[in-house]
């Protein structure tokens, strides 16, 4: 008796495998065949089940909440990272149960763990980064507040657009961790005016007040930390977190400048901290 397994590929909405197992003998041939029609039927059923699961939300009573925050605003080393996260309002309790809060109140290990869990709950999210070099260039024509505002608005518009494409014109509550309340609210209101069912809240410390904004802060912080780790690999010493209050960061920048008479890649050279290290006065 001889067994033969033949692999067939069927091009449908997904790549599926078709197995045809034949049992041969001198007296009879037995074949077990999965037909193309059966597979297409199965695929349609799977898609229907998936759509049913996605649509279990009661759109009349549920809506989407959006949080936006940044990490690395005042750092002298590394990028500014803006994050925007959207979840169903009914899933907000999941974030609370996970322990989501202001990223600054969490350990790196806890943030990394929550980062993965947040992405499972999120309807969609968007991250935007502004490098240290680009921040220096932009600061010649605009303030750090304006740079931060633009990148947060951009990330939020991307999330709103994606959520609307997937679920239609639902109600949205947007919570922004704001540094400049009046200008931030004006910029967000103008940028998002195409969404009539939107409620916007700009407030200081929103990452501590609203779980979804806390989730955005965690994503931004985790991804910024990864960028710092990439910079770290280029040097033989601890470069710290990149914040001006971090003694490891200041020590690294001082030693690097005195040895090489320039600053390392990823440095924001328009910061007063760098002027101080160079001995310059403004």
pLDDT in tens, 38-79: 544 554 554 454 344 445 566 667 899 999 999 999 999 999
Q: What angle do CA 62, 64, 70 make, to 5 degrees?
A: 155
Tokens of 261: 């008479």
Handedness of CA 8, 11, 13, 14 (dihedral sign): positive
Cβ(192)–Cβ(176) below 8 Å: no
What is the C-alpha separation between 250 and 240, in angstroms, rounded? 8
Looking at the chain, the whole-number percentage of residues with pLDDT higher than 70 is: 78
What is the C-alpha separation between 86 and 188, in angstroms, rounded? 16
- What's the pTM? 0.78
Is 70 exceeded by the pLDDT of residue 10? no
Would you place residue 7 in the very low, low, confident or very high pLDDT band (cuts 50, 70, 90)?
Answer: very low
What is the C-alpha separation between 154 and 127, in angstroms, rounded? 9
- Which residue, 178, 199, 179, is CA-closest to 189? 199
What is the C-alpha separation between 212 and 174, in angstroms, rounded? 9
**What average pLDDT does the segment 155-174 reach?**
93
Q: What kind and span of H or E run contains 125?
A: strand 124-130
Handedness of CA 121, 148, 231, 205 (dihedral sign): negative
What is the C-alpha separation between 64 and 166, in angstroms, rounded? 12
What local confidence, expressed as pLDDT, does residue 218 receive? 97
């Amino acid at each position: 008796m001889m067994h033969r397994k033949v692999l067939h590929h069927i091009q449908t909405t997904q790549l599926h495998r078709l197995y045809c197992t034949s049992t041969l003998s001198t007296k009879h041939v037995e074949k077990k065949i999965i037909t193309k029609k059966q597979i297409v039927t199965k695929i349609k059923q799977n898609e229907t089940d998936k759509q049913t699961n996605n649509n279990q939300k009661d759109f009349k009573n549920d809506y989407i909440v959006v949080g936006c925050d940044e990490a690395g605003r005042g750092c002298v080393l590394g990028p500014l990272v803006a994050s925007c996260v959207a979840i169903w309002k009914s899933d907000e309790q999941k974030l609370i149960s996970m322990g989501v809060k202001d990223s600054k109140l969490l350990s790196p290990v806890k943030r990394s763990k929550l980062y993965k869990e947040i992405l499972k709950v999120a309807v969609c999210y968007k991250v935007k980064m502004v490098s240290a070099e680009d921040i220096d260039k932009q600061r010649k024509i605009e303030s750090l507040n304006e740079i931060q505002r633009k990148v947060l608005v951009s990330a939020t518009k991307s999330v709103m657009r994606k959520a609307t494409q997937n679920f239609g014109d639902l109600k949205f509550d947007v919570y922004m961790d704001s540094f400049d309340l009046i200008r931030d609210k004006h910029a967000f209101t103008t940028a998002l005016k195409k969404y009539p069912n939107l409620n916007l809240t700009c407030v200081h410390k929103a990452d501590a007040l609203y779980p979804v904004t806390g989730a955005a802060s965690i994503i931004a912080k985790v991804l910024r930390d990864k960028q710092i780790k990439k910079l770290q690999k280029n040097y033989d010493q601890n470069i710290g977190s990149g914040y001006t209050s971090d003694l490891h960061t200041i020590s690294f920048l001082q030693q690097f400048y005195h040895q090489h008479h320039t600053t390392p890649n990823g440095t924001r050279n328009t910061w007063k901290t760098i002027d101080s290290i160079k001995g310059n006065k403004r």
